[in-house]
Structure 1
Amino acid sequence: MNKCFFSLKIKNSLAKNLRQSILLKRKKNGAKIAVFILISVLFYACNSEKRVPARKQLLVKNEIFENDKLLKNQTIYDQLYQQPNSSILGYRMLLNIYNLANPNPDSTFNLKYLNNKKKYDREVRWLSAKQIEGLRKSFWYLGIHNFLKQTGEAPVLADTLRAVKSLTRLKSYYFNNGYFDIKASYKIDSLAPKKAQIKYFLVTGNPYFIDSVKTKIKTPALDSLYQKIKSVLIPGNQYKTEDFENEKNQISTYFRNHGAFRFQPNYVNFDIDTINKKNKATIVLNVENYSYQENDSTKTEPFKIYKISDIKIYTDYSATNHNQPVRDSVAYNNMTLYGFQKIKYTPHAITDAIFITKGDVFSDTKTVLSTRYLNNLKTFNYPTIQYEVDKKDTTAQSLVAKIYLTPRKKYSFGYTLDATHSNIEDFGVTGSITETVRNVFNGAETLELSARGNIGASNDIANSNAGFFNVSEYGVDAKLNFPRVLFPVKTEKIIPKSMIPSTVFSLGLSKQTNIGLDKENFTGSFSYNWTPKKNTTSRLDLLNFQFVRNLNASNYFHVYTSSYDALNDIAKTYNIESSNVENGNLIVESGTIGFTNQVLTGKTALTPNDVEFQNVNSIEQQRIRLTDNDFILATNFNFTKTSRKDLQDNDFYTFRTKLESAGTILSAISAIGNIPKNQNGNYEIFNLEYSEYIKTEFDLIKHWSIGKSGIFAMRSFFGIAIPYGNSNSIPFSKSYFAGGSNDNRAWQPYNLGPGSSSFSNDFNEANMKIAISGEYRFPIAGKWGGALFADAGNIWNVLDAVTYESAKFNSIKDLSEIAVGTGFGLRYDLSFFVVRLDLGFKTYNPAKEIGERWFTQYNFANSVFNFGINYPF
């Protein structure tokens, strides 16, 4: 019996193993089949000549030879009408996507249904004839192929007609750069039956240079003005058409800014004489007289220099009242304000925004400045400025400036609802409501009152078990904007009104809940803003204060569990007081405080040289910094300059710098007033030690266009905050951290640094930061884009209370602790924002031993996935 049972078990076991073997074999075969199908599809798609018609060739390369020398200048290649299909590292992805599409889906549908009567009759039994016809326009028969065609790129064919057009454009490019004797030809070389490259051959000859410049200006007044212009056309320079356009625009701009109201660039033309001159050209600059139409004939006369005789401002203009009589008027500062109803503005609030001056000559620049300033008041819709010849002037050389202002509604209501993502908040929903009040004190002031709220989800918050949304914040804000500098003395010479200055008062109160400490944040500022030059902004916060109050500081170790776990592990070995523990773990808060005090006062076996002692000290320092209430009274200056012209500009730089000083004013007042210091030797305000430090930051972003659609972006950042006087450390809200989706993407936020330390704190931060990032961005298909990136940087403690050597920056040698992360990402452009997914790999980790820093964690197990909105820089 036992023998039979044993035999049965063996048979069952063999059957089971056989079934597993068959299933495993099926899985392996299935995997092989799937791989085979994938390779077949890729091979089928990668046949780049697949959609090339018979007797046609795919253009795979262009080459341009200048005087027998192969050119690499992308600007010259951009002149060509035909460019090969785009590629990524040689792979023509968009072309292959296009090749996957069926060029004639209608024919395929007819072959399957309409030309196969048996199949058609069989399908009609289940579906109606109308439904079968509807399949023709369905996604699987038509839509998917249209999608592939629209996403991909049709094959670019070598075309003789377009090659001829390319020659014409090349010759024009060289001609415009002074090569008047340019000769050009092309040749199509077959590389395969359906592949070709086009070679262009240019024989430039010698360039022409400007020999001399003469002028013929028919209006004497304009001739006098021209003598004050520094010409772009300089004898000895190589001929460039661009210089002639710049000269024409420069002349027109200067004349129109000096009274030539009717002048336009088309009144300027050039005669270029190269006869009997070897590679030289004599230039004659002609400025014609003013021409106008009278009856059926064209007449000319010298240009007049116009002056402003009157300025009329209509403060409540609209399309419905333009024919109605004005009911109110007031004269102020050589201008007249009119109202169809009672004027509701203090006169200087309007006239201060006007740069046009009675008695001065007409100026385009002053017109533009006036429009910008009036628009910046945010009180009127886009203003209109018109000029009319003053009928009272018998010489007809005076202009009346008429300025039409259409007021916006005094009260307006707005709201926002946004999805958010930050270095701490994985996902959040933010909403706000805003009430705007315009012309508050009849001086074009703007008051904004707003309330906001946010709920979010964060894996970095220790009590995340409370639910998906474990972070919340709500607050109220008020901002009052004055469209001028409010200061006891005049500042016109320092900040002229052409810089469009403003003064802003702001107050804010917010409360964070459900993160354990429950913070309250009260902020306020008194700021000046101005624009020194185009694309340049400056901001001076004369006073900027922040009061942070922690409502539940005793809950610290319930929130920051990583810090608690690190402290608890040390206590299991070195704790000497049984009252500090319960069930083998430190009691929060009495036990954690008791054990920390024992370590730091030398009552345990640990000494300051021990790593565990330093870790306890670090944990305690961070606990104090994160739980202490902070009061910061600072003055800071921010400067931003960019060369970016518009959103389509991909060759630009942006530079930002900041200088901040906190506590200086309070210390000066305390010293002058002989206010006594507390037991720690520090001054207090509202029974709270205020922060004192100096902080500076430099941030540079640069973008370069690479080829037709690639972009290389770079960012470098340096910031340092040094405590002094009343402080020996920086408030947490003013410190730096590393890692995250907008920083070093191979580390989670707050997980990198400081220095070579390997702290397990929940938030690793310090008072100095260096960061450098580079990213190559390229299109993939349609709205999809890709990126390859490298991020480098770290944070350190310097000149503060931190004593842990691995976290400090002591010398230039510590730059070897700069962490390096590399990776790749995907981007999807939704027009109004970009969704970003990045995968970062730890390439160089300074927290490891010196011989184990490079590539030891370069794997998927230690990689970091980042989600972001818009580009990181």
Structure 2
Amino acid sequence: MKHTLYLLFVGVWMLFLTGCSTTKHLAEGETLYIGMRKTTVDNLDESTMGKKALEEAEAAITVAPNNAVFGSGSMRWHVPVGLWVYNRFQRYEKGLGKWIFNKLASEPVYISTVNPDTRVKVASNLLHDYGFFNGTVTYEVDSTDNPRKARLKYHIDMGHGYKLDSIAYEGFSPRADSLIRATYNERIIRRDDHFDVTKLNEERERLVALFRDNGYYYYRSDFITFLADTLIRSGYVNLKIVPKKSVPPEALRTYYIGHTSVYLTGHNGEQPVDSLKRRNFTVYYAGKKPGIRYGVLRKRFLYRKGELYSQTRQDYTQEALARLGVFKFNEFQYTPRHDGSDTLDIRVNSVFDLPYDSELEFNVTTKSTKQTGPGAIFKLSRKNFRRMGASLNLELKGSYEWQTSSTVDGESSVMNSYELGAALSLNFPRLVLPWVRNRVNPFLYPSETNFKIYVDQVNRARYFKMLSFGGEVSYSFQRSRSVKHTVTPLHLAFNKLQHRTARFDSIAAQNPMLFNSLDDQFIPSVSYTITYDNSYRKKKNRIWWENSVTSAGNVTSLIYAAFGKKFSERDKKFLGTPFAQFLKYSSELRYLHEFNEYHQLAARVMGGVIWAYGNKTIAPYSEQFYVGGANSIRAFTIRSIGPGRFHPAENANYSYVDETGDIKLEANLEYRFRILSNFLGGNLNGAAFLDAGNVWLMRKDEARPGAEFTLNRFFDSIAVGTGIGIRYDLSFLVLRLDWGIALHVPYDTEKSGYYNIPKFKDGMGIHFAIGYPF
């Protein structure tokens, strides 16, 4: 009865709304804008510059009407609820009616709001900016049957584009002119380039940066102008770059660095009361001693007294101070001395950030084995540890799982599996090496050194209990903004199987290849990772590509070989524990195409292979690959697919063991779109995705038929899933909910056809996560 009344109420409400007019309560003299007709284009230029100019012009004239489809200027939803609510509830000043108006109403978009007269002028100017000087944009109002509704139709005539002919730099001082000539090959604009005002501005900024890097502290962009002549040669522009006549005298002088004073303010506002001066650098601080060591602070300043002022060195200095993670902000003030000399004294106002930072994350895991349970990760960071500018980080994690069904394999039992872990790391925002000077190199991008130790306890009820512990030293550095190198010269890990049950032993006897990966072992390894990332350029096409190589046990084997044991000999031990020996390679490529602010296409391809040999021919469990989960194939839970076409039956002895492999291939495609802007302080976005992949074994395993990698039935061995999701983007945090739907599993389900999911409900995965999957 309640359900029927609810449907009746919704139906009456919709009929009520549909009876509302979208124009009845429009402002006097206004016409409702209901979108654009198709824009016509004459003299279309198919060149890259022509396409860019047309795109900019069309963006200037495109305005989304009410109830637009994903921000489109021409497509609208047929149910204009926002306008209906606006017209029906506009009169309410309080109560339920006012609440409905505030939450659901959409203010009408008028022709006058669109202001097409101004928009065609802006669009025409944009064509001119890209060298289409005779390009024009016009419009007409396309009326409808309702005199209070109208569409706009635009017409763009691009004319023809102009190119650059001669380019001359005139009127600069002899020293400035010599700087221009010395960097002539670095110029942004060249003869026969398409005229592009954005490139002209880039060239002006290049000149200003060049001057400011060579002592011209007061030089600014508006001191340079352009003179263009289009009459000398038809279709071409003769260009002169000249300084303005009104450039102030101080902008034409070069300046040198003088004394530097740093004022350190505490995170609670404590003002400096004491000072420490060494040569031409003074630190003012509160308390008994500076909040950061003098040497650590001084080495962030990438200049010395008497050097020419350099904008680049100032920028690097500010970045180096920011990378310490100690200060809320750093303000630089340059003051010329009163004696009229060419010296700039520097005052830096720095405010300490809060000394501690913490993060708490909760999650709930549900597995296809009918196990479920909560998990949590707590992170605590102590910034500026021992005033060294380093960060001391503690991470505690834990999870617990229990069996949701009343019986397991016919036994009444509760599965009390759990995982506990702790990690302690010390991170320095610089390279900590005995042969590297501590002073930051201004031509190096961010670098880090990380020292880490960890311990993990894993308990799989009725099977085993394992203790893992170890540590590592890693270095990260960049020699360009887009390429990052990470070297881990030392990584030591110990896996100790503390307890194993009779059931575990019986399964191990049936499948030794699977369970030998859980044996006691020592994993000494070195690794190298290179990452390419061009996202800083903010282009429409962004690429992120990471490749990693890991070698384990080989250095140890070489040491043994030096003492007479063969490199390939097995059963070599360290402290009584066999050590692993393998090579591992993995690669991940991400691509993002941004159609506009509201629509993006993201793709990812990743793969990896691990080859165990010598001392241990089975790769450690912790190093093997897996698929599934919130950031992988989202139709499946984590580690629930593979290897290959093998899948343990639910009643099998090892149905509770995670499914991993030596080879991994995975591909993901995701279309992202805006649903609502400025929704409760953020943007509500949607996504539709397609995921595919699997893992395989390198060697044949009799206990797991079909698990090894072969080209036979390769495509049938790929798990495929699709789905949709929503993302709540708060700019600093993204909350994500994905609903994955399985399309194909690589194993036999007794259902024919490519779609071989026995029941639709069994092929669904719901994931709540933080951040984008890739």
Shift of 1:495: 8.2
CA–CA distance in structure 1, aligned partners of residues 119 and 389 of structure 2: 57
Task: Supply the AA of the counterpart residue of 1:751.
Answer: S
Identity %: 19
Shift of 1:745: 2.0
Q: How does 1:784-795 map to 2 (within 5 A)?
A: 784-795=684-695
CA–CA distance in structure 1, aligned partners of residues 579 and 663 of structure 2: 21
Q: Does 1:101 align with 2:85?
A: yes
Shift of 1:105: 3.3
SS of the equivalent of 1:251 reads helix
Tell me what 1:329 maps to. Answer: 277
Residue in structure 1 matching 2:256, options 302, 307, 310: 307
Tell me what 2:64 maps to. Answer: 83
Question: Is the alpha carbon distance of 1:276 and 1:500 closer, same or farther for their aligned partners in structure 2, counting shifts above 3 Å?
Answer: closer
Residue in structure 2 matching 1:452, options 396, 405, 416: 396
Tell me what 1:369 maps to. Answer: 316
Q: Does 1:871 align with 2:766?
A: no
Contact 1:218 1:288 in 2 (8 A): no
CA–CA distance in structure 2, aligned partners of residues 272 and 823 of structure 1: 55
Residue in structure 1 matching 2:166, options 212, 225, 237: 212
Shift of 1:79: 1.2
Tell me what 2:514 maps to. Answer: 622
Tell me what 1:577 maps to. Answer: none
- Runs of at least 5 residues in structure 1 that lack an aligned partner in the other structure: 1-25, 110-135, 293-299, 558-588, 598-615
Tell me what 1:416 maps to. Answer: 359
Shift of 1:784: 4.1
Question: Is the alpha carbon distance of 1:275 and 1:854 closer, same or farther for their aligned partners in structure 2, counting shifts above 3 Å?
Answer: same
Q: How does 1:745-764 map to 2 (within 5 A)?
A: 745-760=634-649, 761-762=655-656, 763-764=658-659
Q: Does 1:825 align with 2:735?
A: no
Question: Is the alpha carbon distance of 1:177 and 1:367 closer, same or farther for their aligned partners in structure 2, counting shifts above 3 Å?
Answer: same
Shift of 1:171: 0.4
Q: How does 1:486-635 map to 2 (within 5 A)?
A: 486-490=432-436, 498-513=444-459, 515=461, 517-534=464-481, 536-554=483-501, 557=504, 592=506, 597=509, 616-617=510-511, 620-626=512-518, 628-635=519-526
The structure whose residues are more often strand, as a share, is 2
Q: How does 1:268-307 map to 2 (within 5 A)?
A: 268-275=224-231, 277-288=233-244, 291-292=247-248, 300=249, 303-307=252-256
Question: Is the alpha carbon distance of 1:70 and 1:397 closer, same or farther for their aligned partners in structure 2, counting shifts above 3 Å?
Answer: closer
Residue in structure 1 matching 2:562, options 672, 688, 692: 672
Deviates more, 1:861-870 or 1:80-89: 80-89
Task: Supply the AA of the counterpart residue of 1:755.
Answer: G
Q: Could you say which structure has the larger radius of gyration?
A: 1
CA–CA distance in structure 1, aligned partners of residues 728 and 326 of structure 2: 38
Q: Does 1:653 align with 2:555?
A: no
Deviations 1:347-395 (A, max 9, x none): 6534433221344321111111122223323455534444343567x7x
CA–CA distance in structure 1, aligned partners of residues 608 and 708 of structure 2: 15
Shift of 1:650: 7.6
Question: Is the alpha carbon distance of 1:501 and 1:758 closer, same or farther for their aligned partners in structure 2, counting shifts above 3 Å?
Answer: closer
CA–CA distance in structure 2, aligned partners of residues 488 and 143 of structure 1: 67
CA–CA distance in structure 2, aligned partners of residues 501 and 276 of structure 1: 53
CA–CA distance in structure 2, aligned partners of residues 637 and 681 of structure 1: 26
CA–CA distance in structure 1, aligned partners of residues 300 and 407 of structure 2: 54
Question: Is the alpha carbon distance of 1:496 and 1:306 closer, same or farther for their aligned partners in structure 2, counting shifts above 3 Å?
Answer: closer
SS of the equivalent of 2:252 reads coil
Question: Is the alpha carbon distance of 1:777 and 1:46 closer, same or farther for their aligned partners in structure 2, counting shifts above 3 Å?
Answer: farther
Task: Supply the AA of the counterpart residue of 1:775.
Answer: E
CA–CA distance in structure 1, aligned partners of residues 439 and 274 of structure 2: 40
Deviations 1:194-230 (A, max 9, x none): 7654221122322222222222234221111111233
Task: Supply the AA of the counterpart residue of 2:179.
Answer: L
Tell me what 1:728 maps to. Answer: 617
Question: Is the alpha carbon distance of 1:187 and 1:715 closer, same or farther for their aligned partners in structure 2, counting shifts above 3 Å?
Answer: same
Question: Is the alpha carbon distance of 1:316 and 1:733 closer, same or farther for their aligned partners in structure 2, counting shifts above 3 Å?
Answer: same
Shift of 1:269: 0.6
Contact 1:263 1:290 in 2 (8 A): no
Tell me what 1:67 maps to. Answer: 42
Task: Supply the AA of the counterpart residue of 2:323.
Answer: N
Deviations 1:414-455 (A, max 9, x none): 543322356869663525363627363x7x253626362434
Deviates more, 1:377-386 or 1:723-732: 377-386
Tell me what 2:652 maps to. Answer: none
Shift of 1:771: 0.8
CA–CA distance in structure 1, aligned partners of residues 397 and 751 of structure 2: 49
Question: Is the alpha carbon distance of 1:434 and 1:231 closer, same or farther for their aligned partners in structure 2, counting shifts above 3 Å?
Answer: closer
Tell me what 2:739 maps to. Answer: 839
Deviates more, 1:78-87 or 1:730-739: 78-87
CA–CA distance in structure 2, aligned partners of residues 461 and 719 of structure 1: 36
Q: Does 1:773 align with 2:673?
A: no
Residue in structure 1 matching 2:344, options 391, 399, 407: 399
Question: Is the alpha carbon distance of 1:476 and 1:205 closer, same or farther for their aligned partners in structure 2, counting shifts above 3 Å?
Answer: closer
Contact 1:445 1:481 in 2 (8 A): no
Tell me what 2:533 maps to. Answer: 642
Task: Supply the AA of the counterpart residue of 2:549.
Answer: L
Q: How does 1:326-365 map to 2 (within 5 A)?
A: 326=275, 328-331=276-279, 336-338=281-283, 348-365=295-312
- Runs of at least 5 residues in structure 2 that lack an aligned partner in the other structure: 650-654
Question: Is the alpha carbon distance of 1:645 and 1:437 closer, same or farther for their aligned partners in structure 2, counting shifts above 3 Å?
Answer: closer
Deviations 1:738-794 (A, max 9, x none): 222221122232222222223333321101111111111223344543322111111
Tell me what 1:571 maps to. Answer: none
Q: How does 1:374-389 map to 2 (within 5 A)?
A: 374-380=321-327, 382-389=329-336
Question: Is the alpha carbon distance of 1:852 and 1:181 closer, same or farther for their aligned partners in structure 2, counting shifts above 3 Å?
Answer: same
Shift of 1:736: 1.2
Q: Does 1:477 align with 2:441?
A: no
Contact 2:325 2:383 in 1 (8 A): no
CA–CA distance in structure 1, aligned partners of residues 265 and 111 of structure 2: 60
Tell me what 2:135 maps to. Answer: 182
Tell me what 2:214 maps to. Answer: 258
Deviations 1:708-752 (A, max 9, x none): 512222111111111122221211111111222221122232222
Q: How many residues align?
A: 737
SS of the equivalent of 2:38 reads strand
CA–CA distance in structure 2, aligned partners of residues 379 and 161 of structure 1: 47
Deviates more, 1:521-530 or 1:740-749: 740-749
Task: Supply the AA of the counterpart residue of 1:747.
Answer: F
The structure whose residues are more often helix, as a share, is 1
Tell me what 1:225 maps to. Answer: 179
Question: Is the alpha carbon distance of 1:58 and 1:351 closer, same or farther for their aligned partners in structure 2, counting shifts above 3 Å?
Answer: closer
CA–CA distance in structure 2, aligned partners of residues 94 and 661 of structure 1: 61
CA–CA distance in structure 2, aligned partners of residues 277 and 501 of structure 1: 52
Contact 1:57 1:193 in 2 (8 A): no
Contact 2:749 2:758 in 1 (8 A): no
CA–CA distance in structure 1, aligned partners of residues 459 and 390 of structure 2: 32
Contact 2:45 2:158 in 1 (8 A): no
Shift of 1:493: 13
Contact 1:445 1:480 in 2 (8 A): no
Tell me what 2:752 maps to. Answer: 852
CA–CA distance in structure 2, aligned partners of residues 60 and 49 of structure 1: 18
Task: Supply the AA of the counterpart residue of 1:477.
Answer: A
